[in-house]
Structure 1
Amino acid sequence: MHLYGKHWTRREVEARVGGVGQIGGVRRMTLTEGKEAGTELIEVRTGAGLAFEIVPSKGMDISLALLWGTPISWQSPNGNVHPAFYEPEGTGWLRTASGGLLMTCGLAHVGSPSADESGSYGLHGRAHHTPARNVCIREEWAGEELEWSVTGVVEETAIFGSKLRLARELSGRLGDNRVAIRDRVENFGFRPAEHMMLYHFNFGFPLLDERTEIRFPEADREVRAGGGRAAPESCASWEAPDPAVEETVIYHTLRREAADGGGMAETRIVQPEFPAAGGARATEVALRWSADTLPLLAQWRMPGAGEHVLGLEPSNCFVEGREAERRRGGPLVLAPGQSIEYRLELNVV
């Protein structure tokens, strides 16, 4: 195990602590106040500086993420609202979306509210507000490494409608500022099911400031500016809060050469002076994803006041909703019994 700048054996670590939880680990807790009451969290501490909250009550998504005690995620003003308060119609999603490091959008719908012969769909679908079942925590030694994982199942079903199942695993190891996400979405019904999927990663202050640089993979870019606002001069920089600014969405359609030998594409956020431990250090946060199943990266730029957030969103669709997606030739359709896998990884360099 690599920890605190040195390599240790299991027994060397165990000899120095009353329990390994002194250094890091995984534990469950439940919130008790206001609209958050009853929301379950799973806290993960890597022992190397990265700590974050998995929320089984909300799609196995990730809420607050800290690096050396300093936030890297953007948190919405809603907090970790219990899914009982979810308003699925129209843009009601905005009242209870938690922000945080990851909000899953899908499984049947992503993007703007939409309606078709199968029904009406609110903003970004139901996944972020669907509690998981079969939630399991594992901490286990593998040789000299202590590995952890959290698994759970999220289902989106309707009588006479589609039946989609998301099986999610988040995993890593003690001493490593890295979290891997492996998802499998299955159509367990007996009719074809349309499937849209977007991983809404949200980064915020102080990882973002006027010195921040965003490095993208090779891609063709299409800018969709909100409210008639001109497109930003650069998608690779950031700016100070502006209460008058409007959101902008930039689509990065990955080129074949964007993926590495393992089929993964990568975007990096580079902060030359990230504040931590009473000082500042150059820090890079790398987001990687499977380019074959997530061929599009939506970049949500919202450098407003309060809503001061950069969204990096690997996806298999655009964000204008089902009607617009059909005009583009989509969405993806899973045959009965068919499944698809998504791989993602967050790594602090």
Structure 2
Amino acid sequence: MTETTTHRSWNRREAEIKWDDKSPLTISVETREGVIETRHGRFVGGAADGVEVVELDTGVMRVMVLPTRGMAIWKLESEGVRFGWDSPISGPVHPSLVPTFEPSGLGWLEGFDELVVRCGLESNGAPEHNEQGQLVYPLHGRIGNLAADSLSIEYDEASGRLELIGEVIEARLFFKRLRLKSRLRVHAGSHRVYVMDDVTNELSTPSTMQLLYHINIGLPVLENGAVLEAPIEELAPKNDLSAGEIGSWNQFGEPEVGYQERVYFAKLCHDDSNETTTMIRSKDRARGMAVTYNVSKLPHFILWKNTAAESDGYVIGMEPATNFPNRRSFESEQDRVVTIEPGETASFRLSLLPLINEKAVEKTSQRIKELSEHASVVIHEQPRQGWTEGL
């Protein structure tokens, strides 16, 4: 088996990846739309040791996928612009080193540095403890720290389409067995990546689930003067701290030492096909990231605003979700959990489009304006009852 080792400056450290040139997941396909290539390998050394990685190269975009971390998208690079963020941790971190169930319920944060990470499947919000103080649901759930198997690649030479497919099972005897089948689709010569997830309940009794896509952008797109554009139907701050910036909820400043995160909950306008789009763009409108998704299955949107010092994690999160990320019991009371019957599948679809010039940003901005041109926008200056727990 032939192996090559390269170093990639995706993060502030040099990430060593041992690529496997003989892997069936390392291929080059000539299509009518151009050549599309994939590489398969594993990280070597440190907290990343053993983490599996698949790189998808469309000719204009490279996507780094982490099957070991729930099929997360670690980083994306398009036309020389990097899309992702610099977390204080040295990721990617192997799930075996992430203490998901440590008593505070916050262990998930020790592995968090991806561009796209799924939160769920049993729960996706704040940690929850029972009356005895025992952890019941950890922060953001388990799926992001479970490894995928059954990896495969499918492609179509005529259309230039290629899909990386992986399956992740979240299970516990007597309680649950949820199978996530994820397809990450790209096309030769295209900047867009599609995330196509199907969650199946494999038990003989009904099950409930939650899912949130934590999509995180830092430098160079996030900067002083960057803006989030979204077709808002209704929006409210999560808490009093967030309410203090309600007048500038979608505007981002320079990195600030001691900045505490702000969070905003929203519902977005959509078209006749139930699709909506939001984006973060740079101050000069020269670059950005657009997220398009279907609100029939992901009816809620969360903005995570964390413009802290660069060393502390200068980042914002665009988060389409089945619910708001409160404690699971509260979300269940508000009927914001998804019920899946035995053998039934719930499907979730979204896409990411890196915007690498002013024309692409303007096209997306126009799309967002069209979605909201007839909307009666409601902006709450204080947390909204039924959306924020404890009101």
TM bin (shorter chain):
0.7 to 0.9
Q: How is 1:187-266 mapped onto 2 (pairs within 5 angstroms)? A: 187-225=201-239, 230-254=244-268, 258-266=269-277
Aligned equivalent of 1:128:
144
The separation in 2 between residues aligned to 1:94 and 1:235, in whole angstroms, is 24
* Superposition deviation, residue 20 in structure 1: 5.3
- Please tell me the root mean square deviation across aligned C-alpha atoms, in Å: 2.3
My pick for the range that moved more, 291-300 or 39-48, is: 39-48
The change in CA–CA distance for 1:189 and 1:296 in structure 2 (over 3 A counts) is: same
The separation in 1 between residues aligned to 2:332 and 2:217, in whole angstroms, is 30
2:165 is matched with which residue: 147, 151, 171?
A: 151
Q: Secondary structure at the match of 1:260?
A: coil
Q: Secondary structure at the match of 2:47?
A: helix
1:43 correspondence with 2:60: no
My pick for the range that moved more, 220-229 or 54-63, is: 220-229
The separation in 2 between residues aligned to 1:126 and 1:299, in whole angstroms, is 21
Aligned equivalent of 1:291:
295
The separation in 2 between residues aligned to 1:138 and 1:191, in whole angstroms, is 33
Aligned equivalent of 2:118:
104
1:137 correspondence with 2:149: no
1:29 is matched with which residue: 41, 46, 53?
A: 41
2:279 is matched with which residue: 268, 278, 281?
A: 268
The change in CA–CA distance for 1:284 and 1:307 in structure 2 (over 3 A counts) is: closer
Aligned equivalent of 1:178:
192
The change in CA–CA distance for 1:253 and 1:229 in structure 2 (over 3 A counts) is: closer
My pick for the range that moved more, 58-67 or 258-267, is: 258-267
* Superposition deviation, residue 32 in structure 1: 0.5
The separation in 1 between residues aligned to 2:155 and 2:350, in whole angstroms, is 21
* Superposition deviation, residue 120 in structure 1: 1.2
Q: Which amino acid aligns with 2:142?
A: R
The separation in 1 between residues aligned to 2:88 and 2:156, in whole angstroms, is 36
The separation in 2 between residues aligned to 1:327 and 1:106, in whole angstroms, is 18
- Structure 2: 5+ residue runs without aligned partners? 1-27, 355-359, 361-391
1:91 is matched with which residue: 100, 106, 115?
A: 106
The separation in 1 between residues aligned to 2:187 and 2:177, in whole angstroms, is 33
The separation in 1 between residues aligned to 2:114 and 2:135, in whole angstroms, is 29
The change in CA–CA distance for 1:54 and 1:263 in structure 2 (over 3 A counts) is: same
* Superposition deviation, residue 212 in structure 1: 1.6
* Superposition deviation, residue 335 in structure 1: 1.8
Contact 1:87 1:93 in 2 (8 A): yes
Contact 1:25 1:148 in 2 (8 A): no
The separation in 2 between residues aligned to 1:137 and 1:265, in whole angstroms, is 29
The change in CA–CA distance for 1:227 and 1:213 in structure 2 (over 3 A counts) is: closer
The separation in 1 between residues aligned to 2:277 and 2:243, in whole angstroms, is 28
Contact 1:295 1:315 in 2 (8 A): yes
- Structure 1: 5+ residue runs without aligned partners? 1-17, 275-281
The TM-score with structure 1 as length reference comes to 0.85
Contact 1:25 1:139 in 2 (8 A): no
The separation in 1 between residues aligned to 2:55 and 2:116, in whole angstroms, is 15
Q: Which amino acid aligns with 2:68?
A: S
* Superposition deviation, residue 19 in structure 1: 7.9
Q: How is 1:60-75 mapped onto 2 (pairs within 5 angstroms)? A: 60-75=71-86
Deviations 1:133-159 (A, max 9, x none): 1111234411xx422110011110000
The separation in 2 between residues aligned to 1:330 and 1:39, in whole angstroms, is 33
The separation in 1 between residues aligned to 2:29 and 2:299, in whole angstroms, is 43
Deviations 1:220-240 (A, max 9, x none): 001014768723422221110
Give % identity: 27
